[in-house]
Amino acid sequence: MPDFTGKSVLLTGAAGGIGTAMAEAFAQAGARLALVDREDCTDMARTLKGD
């Protein structure tokens, strides 16, 4: 994946499956993430942030 440092990504469907995998990939590529889902994705956001 290209370098996303300094870029923002809005990711829908982030609480499971492909959305979770994409969130992890974008986070590893340096992107700032806005995660959206019908389900709560707070725990995943904390994990990606490193809290």
> What pLDDT does 47 receive?
87
SS (H, E, C) 14-37: CCCCHHHHHHHHHHHCCCEEEEEC
Strand partners of residue 8: 32
Query: Sorting pLDDT into bands at 50, 70 and 90, what band is 51?
Result: low
The answer to whether position 30 is within a domain reads yes
Q: How many domains does the chain contain in total?
A: 1
Contact 27, 51 (CB under 8 A): no
pLDDT at 50 over 90: no
Asked if residue 40 is part of any domain, the answer here is yes
pLDDT in tens, 6-45: 999 999 999 889 999 999 999 999 999 999 999 998 888 8
Distance CA 50, CA 18 (A): 20
Q: Is residue 23 part of a domain?
A: yes
Q: Do the domain assignments include residue 18? A: yes
DSSP category for residue 5? T
Is residue 3 a part of any domain in this protein?
Answer: no
- Structural domain that includes position 37: 8-49
Give Cα separations from 20 to 1, 12, 23 (angstroms).
16, 10, 5
**pTM listed for this prediction:** 0.85
